[in-house]
């Protein structure tokens, strides 16, 4: 079996963003991409997910690895990473041999198998976190897979012990607050993608990447 995908000059989003970070001694020091460009990328992903939401389609694996970038920071949502060897460490192999993106899954999707557009909203906030971290760190990198599952169980129990991803250095409070809304325990309390898209559009009103930020 094979999948035929549209060519993308910039490739997958993690590779694209990681190439725009200056490293010293293996540690990220400074980005060469503007904050406005990062929100521009996130806004386009929200737009794509708003379209899927309007069709009542559930993505189930929204993450930076499943977003591809073309010229002028044009981003398209895809679903191919599960079949790429380079992303093997981003999936957990369950007892039934299913490959699960547990670090991006909402607690109800992981523990109850309840996947909806609102579990996609949860994954979008993880993806937004990845973008603002310039894809230099895996979500919950300090936790083992077993501990990630345990953290989801804390969400299920609602015992106050659940862990959140920390605010990225490039992330303003209002954007981190948006992530928090997407991580509400009750799925019905999370925003719709139409609301997320409108919010990000307003924060990025009129922005376009500069010519020197385009893909060569």
User: Which residues have a catalytic role annotated?
Assistant: 61
CB < 8 Å & 24+ apart, contacts of 17-22: 17/64, 17/131, 17/134, 17/135, 17/136, 18/134, 18/135, 18/136, 20/134, 21/134, 21/136
Q: How many CB atoms lie within 10 A of CB 171?
A: 20
Burial level of 195, CB count in 10 A (0-12/13-18/19+)? middle
For 182, the token pair is 């997407």
Nearest CA-CA partner of 140 in 160, 126, 121, 161: 126
> Rg for the chain (alpha carbons), in Å?
17
Q: Which residue bears the tokens 């409108």?
A: 198
């Amino acid at each position: 079996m094979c999948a035929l995908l549209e060519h993308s000059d910039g490739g997958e989003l993690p590779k694209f963003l990681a190439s725009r970070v200056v490293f010293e001694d293996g540690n990220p020091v400074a980005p060469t991409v503007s904050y406005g460009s990062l929100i521009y990328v996130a806004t386009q992903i929200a737009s794509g997910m708003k379209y899927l939401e309007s069709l009542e389609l559930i993505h189930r694996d929204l993450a930076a690895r499943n977003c591809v970038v073309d010229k002028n920071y044009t981003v398209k949502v895809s679903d191919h990473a599960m079949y790429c060897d380079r992303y093997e460490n981003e999936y957990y192999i369950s007892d039934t041999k299913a490959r699960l993106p547990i670090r991006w899954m909402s607690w109800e999707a992981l523990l109850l198998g309840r996947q909806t557009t609102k579990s996609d909203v949860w994954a979008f906030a993880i993806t937004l976190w990845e973008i603002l971290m310039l894809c230099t760190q895996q979500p919950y990198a300090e936790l083992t897979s077993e501990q990630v599952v345990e953290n989801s169980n804390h969400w299920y129990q609602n015992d106050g012990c659940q862990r959140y991803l920390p605010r990225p250095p490039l992330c303003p409070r209002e954007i981190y607050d948006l992530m928090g809304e997407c991580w509400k325990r009750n799925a019905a309390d999370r925003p719709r993608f139409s609301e997320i898209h409108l919010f990000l559009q307003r924060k990025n009103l009129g922005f376009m990447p500069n010519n020197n930020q385009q893909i060569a």
